Amino acid sequence: MTNIDQDILKAAELIKKANKIVALTGAGISVESGIPDFRGPSGLWKKYNPEIASISFFLKNPEEFWKFSLEVWKTLKRAKPNPAHKALVELEKMGKLHCIITQNIDGLHQKAGSKKVLEIHGSANWLICTSCRARHPSETVIKQLKSGMTIPICDLCGGLLRPEAVLFGDMLPQDVFSEAVSEASSCDLMLIVGSSLVVFPAAQLPSVAKKNGAKIVLINLEKTWFDEKADVVIHGKAGSILPKIVKNVKKTH
């Protein structure tokens, strides 16, 4: 049995014993669905300067911002859930997973069938007018940009449209984040999947869980600063590791 196989069994044992499991997911869980992450081996920051996803860049260069966003959105809209998203749905159906806190804006957990998902960085499905605050479905902007406009505009007031999703430099939606903190502090196992854990305040949630006595299972392709604090760390692809863990949980569930 390889070390990874042993760790998969250990993770399954912890999951079986746990009463309230909360998953914290990041961009890495959607890489196998064809959506690049930011900091992984083929991440977006190998091609772009991270500043492009900030509120200050949007306000200075909306045209360039929207060129980048349109490219990202086309990828998001095409993407389908992968075996890692589906494994979390199974855990929820088995009554083992209480909720998912996700940093992702791609909606793939919901597309896969997960019921309770806290999107702490918002969703790519909506845009908001920077003048009148009206919400518009993201299809509006895609239509406008594809028809040759370079910056999407609110059809109610002519104001500039921005993604409702959180940009660097934005505040997080406070009600959703407070709920995430409350779930993290009351779980007895946190399952972290596909996050470099460098974007704060999301990256403080594992410490909140740990401080309140939760076990930590961490699955990520590369090392993170939190590895040494976790009870089980598995470096590998979420799409192959998570289904194996769930299969082992099912065996004696």
123 binds ligand NAD (CB under 6 A): no
What is the footprint of ligand NAD within residues 225-244 (CB under 6 A)? Answer: 237-239
Nearest distance in Å: CB 95, ligand NAD? 25
Alpha-carbon gap, residue 3 to 26, rounded angstroms: 24
Query: Is 76 buried (19+), middle (13-18) or exposed (0-12) by CB count in 10 A?
Result: buried
Nearest distance in Å: CB 19, ligand NAD? 26
Residue 32 or 183: which CB sits closer to ligand NAD? 32
In the shown chain, the binding pattern of residues 199 to 218 toward ligand NAD, with x for contact by CB under 6 A and - for none, equals x-------------------
83 binds ligand NAD (CB under 6 A): no
* Among 11, 24, 31, 192, interactor with ligand NAD by CB under 6 A: 31
Nearest distance in Å: CB 196, ligand NAD? 3
For 20-79, give the DSSP string. SEEEEE-GGGGGGGT---SSSTT-GGGTS-GGGGBHHHHHH-HHHHHHHHHHHHHHHHH-
CB 249 within 8 A of CB 12: yes
Catalytic choice (109, 121, 235, 253): 121
Give me the sign of the Cα torsion angle 88, 90, 91, 93: positive
H-run or E-run covering 249: helix 238-251
163 preceded by a cis bond (ω within 30 of 0): no
Alpha-carbon gap, residue 84 to 214, rounded angstroms: 22
Select the span of 36-44, 56-64, 146-154, 184-192 touching ligand NAD (CB under 6 A).
36-44
222 binds ligand NAD (CB under 6 A): yes
138 binds ligand NAD (CB under 6 A): no
23 binds ligand NAD (CB under 6 A): no
Chain Cα centroid distance, residue 115: 15
In the shown chain, the binding pattern of residues 157 to 196 toward ligand NAD, with x for contact by CB under 6 A and - for none, equals -------------------------------------xxx
DSSP conformation class of 231: S
70 binds ligand NAD (CB under 6 A): no
CB 31 within 8 A of CB 108: no
119 binds ligand NAD (CB under 6 A): no
Nearest distance in Å: CB 126, ligand NAD? 14
Query: How distant, in Å, are the alpha carbons of 27, 105, 162, 214 from that of 152?
Result: 26, 19, 8, 45
121 labelled catalytic: yes
Given the rule CB under 6 A, which residues bind ligand NAD? Answer: 26-28, 30-32, 35, 37-40, 43, 103-106, 121, 194-196, 198-199, 220-222, 237-239
